[in-house]
């Protein structure tokens, strides 16, 4: 998993590329790099760490040019040294720089092909360097071209060779000195690649990136996806060419929706946020089918990308939810798991105590008030029945000497299926509960919450598109 971006603009692109890396920082935190070119030279700035730490004012001022590519690294192949930081570049032919998101599975076979047949030296163990050398060799062995159209046809032949020989996932942005910007995606569309356009008085600017989360702030209009097996070429003059070279079955990586991507992104025309909501709803339906008589004591999403799915899951089954905030540790400190567990146990005990106090207050109301006793009994019985479905709840009832059978007899018509506890009587949950902010009432019965959420999501979610994409 890495973050890539490429921009062809009427102005210098360095600052826009830096903003892209900030927006894509969640896709890789180990290293960052930017390369641009102007009329005379290629310019590069790379370093280990976060984008904000790698690029300073001096480095940014040196990145001159109206075409450039950028990369955030999360290492899945290769080493961890400075030489592994992308974009990779070669000066033959033309001067080429590539940034790659993905993982090539036939890396060893390609290394043998490049080293023995093509007699090229590989300086790193990165699969990106292998792909770049294959691409450069195809361009170098071709005859000279004189027009943008001829160069695009040469690019198509070179990418066709890549598609036939390289296996795995790869979304690529690249620049070719004096020629322009390219972007292409593996035939199965495993890793995402989106593009947008920005129009000004000077002309049109184009952006290609792993996600479209930065489009709004940079004033790019989303134009869709680079399709699987498709090549885009933005020439030096700003003319756009595209061609779908190979078409096979579409197999996007489901973890882009589950974990990798920002929730405000749209990938393959599907909202990441809404897909996570749908995952939680589907899980809630599955839970109720398999465990109709069991209600979890509490829902805890982990990691934080599970928050959205956990919200709709908790609403669907009528359970409480809490969140774990990730603690930032200094590099010289190791996580103290024992203290963390002790902290969570303390929070759970606090939750139990608050629920106990809730019942004690209601019990006192029953004893001391002469008015509305039936109403109070109903609320107490409703809460008791809800708690009785969980182990912790039964223990709380026992601890507070609350006899469930006596309470339930106050309202014989009450049952677990149609319980509706008023919000005023809901105990607090450490870390927060579902609230008006999310438009979800955790204390309402599961059927009502589920239907309301289904209605909200179905109004704007393309059900067919999502089902096709999430196969």
Positions marked active-site: 2
Beta-strand runs (E) in 201-328: 203-209, 221-225, 230-235, 240-244, 266-267, 270-271
Burial of 184 (0-12, 13-18, 19+ CB in 10 A): buried
What are the DSSP calls for 80-137, one per residue?
A: SSGGGPSPEEE-SSS-EEEEEEEEETTHHHHHHIIIIIS-PPP-SS-HHHHHHHHHHH
Q: Are 42 and 89 in contact (CB under 8 A)?
A: yes
The 3-class SS string of 56-72 reads: CHHHHHHCCCCEEEEEE
Instruction: Determine phi and psi for 232, rounding to 5 degrees.
Output: -115, 140
C-alpha to C-alpha distance for 304 and 259, rounded to whole angstroms: 9
Burial of 326 (0-12, 13-18, 19+ CB in 10 A): exposed
C-alpha to C-alpha distance for 376 and 384, rounded to whole angstroms: 12
3-state secondary structure of 438: helix
Give kind and range of the element (H or E) at residue 5: strand 3-8
Tokens representing residue 273 in the block = 């946020």
C-alpha to C-alpha distance for 115 and 125, rounded to whole angstroms: 13
Q: Are 5 and 21 in contact (CB under 8 A)?
A: yes
Of 67, 127, 124, the C-alpha closest to 97 is: 67
C-alpha to C-alpha distance for 460 and 278, rounded to whole angstroms: 12
C-alpha to C-alpha distance for 129 and 111, rounded to whole angstroms: 10
DSSP state of 296: -
C-alpha to C-alpha distance for 30 and 47, rounded to whole angstroms: 9
């Amino acid at each position: 998993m890495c973050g890539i971006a490429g921009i062809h603009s009427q102005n210098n692109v360095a600052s826009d590329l830096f903003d892209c890396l900030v927006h894509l920082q969640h896709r890789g935190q180990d290293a960052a790099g930017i390369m641009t070119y102007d009329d005379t030279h290629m310019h590069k700035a790379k370093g280990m760490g976060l984008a904000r730490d790698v690029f300073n004012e001096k480095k940014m001022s040196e990145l001159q040019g109206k075409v450039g590519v950028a990369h955030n690294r999360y290492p899945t192949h290769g080493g961890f040294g400075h030489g592994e930081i992308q974009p990779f570049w070669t000066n033959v032919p033309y001067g080429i720089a590539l940034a790659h998101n993905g993982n090539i599975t036939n890396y060893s076979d390609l290394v043998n092909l490049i080293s023995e047949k093509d007699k090229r030296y590989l300086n790193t163990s990165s699969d990106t360097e292998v792909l770049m050398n294959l691409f450069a060799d195809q361009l170098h062995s071709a005859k000279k071209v004189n027009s943008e159209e001829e160069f695009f046809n040469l690019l198509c032949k070179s990418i066709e060779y890549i598609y036939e020989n390289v296996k795995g996932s790869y979304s690529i942005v690249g620049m070719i000195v004096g020629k322009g910007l390219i972007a292409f995606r593996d035939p199965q569309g495993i890793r995402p690649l989106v593009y947008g356009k920005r129009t000004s008085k000077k002309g049109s600017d184009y952006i290609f990136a792993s996600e479209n989360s930065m489009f709004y702030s940079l004033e790019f209009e989303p134009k869709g996806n680079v399709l699987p097996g498709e090549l885009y070429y933005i020439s030096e003059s700003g003319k756009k060419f595209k061609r779908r070279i190979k078409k096979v079955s579409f197999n996007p990586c489901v973890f882009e929706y589950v974990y990798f991507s920002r929730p405000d992104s749209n990938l393959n025309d599907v909202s990441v946020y809404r897909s996570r909501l749908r995952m939680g709803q589907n899980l809630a339906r599955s839970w109720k089918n398999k465990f109709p008589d069991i209600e979890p004591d509490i829902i805890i999403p982990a990691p934080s990308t599970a928050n959205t799915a956990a919200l709709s899951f908790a609403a669907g089954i009528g359970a409480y939810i809490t969140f774990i905030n990730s603690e930032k540790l200094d590099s010289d400190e190791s996580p103290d798991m024992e203290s963390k567990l002790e902290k969570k146990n303390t929070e759970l005990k606090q939750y139990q105590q608050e629920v106990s106090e809730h019942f004690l207050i209601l019990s006192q109301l029953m004893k001391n008030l002469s008015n509305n006793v039936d109403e109070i009994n109903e609320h107490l019985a409703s809460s008791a029945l809800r708690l009785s479905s969980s182990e912790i709840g039964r223990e709380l009832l026992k601890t507070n000497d609350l006899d469930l059978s006596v309470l339930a007899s106050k309202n014989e018509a009450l049952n677990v299926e149609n319980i509706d506890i008023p919000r005023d009587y809901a105990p607090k949950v450490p870390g927060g509960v579902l609230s008006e902010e999310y438009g979800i009432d955790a204390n309402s019965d599961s059927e009502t919450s589920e239907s309301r959420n289904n209605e909200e999501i179905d109004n704007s979610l393309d059900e067919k598109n999502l089902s096709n994409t999430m196969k």
